[in-house]
Amino acid sequence: MTAIERYLAPADLDSALAALAGGNATVLAGGTDLMPQINAGKVAFRPILLNIRRIPDLRAVEVGQGRITIGALVTITELKDNPVIAKAVPLLAEAADHFASDQVRNMGTIGGNVANASPAGDTLVPLLVLDAQVELASATGRRSVPMAEFFTGPGRSVRRPDELITGLSLPLPRLRTVSRFVKFGTRPALDISAVSIGFSATLDSGRLSDVRVAFGAVGPTPMRGRATEAVLEGAPLDAGLIAKAAATAQDEVKPIDDLRASAWYRRELIHNLLGKVLSDVVSR
């Protein structure tokens, strides 16, 4: 194990970004992913352990100009319980309710869930269908990256080692937006999903527009279902369309066999669960 040479717990963002500037720091937030990954030898400490939990700016939740911004340090419990989040983006609050256990939700943060870039990360599929932007900061500047372009592989993203995720910015859903999140695993608590599906669209006179579909745990990264979206966009949502969308989704995903489910089973789940989600949307 690499020894940690320095431990830093700055109280302001600029100090944290300065510490990150050389790309020599391991970022610590909730620790729920970092600790087991270190213990399992999947991750090695960099020379600086940078605890960002003392930076109050990263805890803010703000609504304005048609968007909601959620600070990177907002815990999963806060996502679930914060009335502003529940009102603005209920899908995210709902997904948080399916996340791990109470103890993990109390520690784990939304920024950490995004940074960890797991194909099965529970907030990632809702963030994809909510069209979130990942807010990144470094000592040299700031940038926003759409969620759909953020992940590059399991545990990998476009975040540079000198960058910190400061938060997520989401457009407030329009009126008549319908959204759903389904996570499928073998038990409700603490399970890493076998598959998950997120769906969001505007439903007007039986037609869907602004359709966003995302899938978790069926590829190297959480993914947008672009082909499925194209099938659904602008068309009358009837039984025929639902069947076509479910079949498209089944073809579009790229699952693997692992200990949680086989690729075949995951495709079946995606087909059947998307059909169920769309039937539920049509019946409301």
Partner 1 sequence: MSSLVEISCVVNGTPTRLAVPPQTSALALLRDHLGLSGTKYGCGEGECGACTILVDGVSVNSCLMFAVDFDGRTITTIEGLAVDRASDPLRQAFVDKGGVQCGFCTPGMVVQSRHVLDKHPHAGPEEVKRGLEGNLCRCTGYKKIVEAVVTAAAAQSAAE
Binding residues vs partner 1 (CB under 8 A): 1, 3-5, 7, 9, 28, 30-32, 35-36, 38-39, 45, 49, 51, 53, 77, 100-104, 106-107, 188-190
Is residue 1 within 8 Å of 39, Cβ to Cβ? Answer: no
Smallest gap from residue 46 Cβ to partner 1 (A) = 12
Residue among 38 and 281 whose Cβ is closer to partner 1: 38
Which residue lies nearer to partner 1 by CB, 32 or 250? 32
Identity of the amino acid at 75: T
CB closer to partner 1 out of 103 and 140 = 103
Torsion of CA 112, 94, 257, 118, to 10 degrees: -10
Q: How many CA atoms lie within 13 A of 52 on its CB side?
A: 30
| Closest approach of partner 1 to the CB of residue 183, in Å | 14
Residue (9 or 21) nearer to partner 1, CB: 9
Shortest Cβ 1–partner 1 spacing (Å): 7
Among 85, 159, 157, smallest CA distance to 126 is for 85
Distance in Å, CB of 32 to partner 1, minimum: 5
- For residue 146, the one-letter residue type is P
Give min distance, CB of 101 to partner 1, in A: 2
Tokens of 233: 């966009």
Q: Which is nearer to partner 1, 43 or 60 (CB)?
A: 43
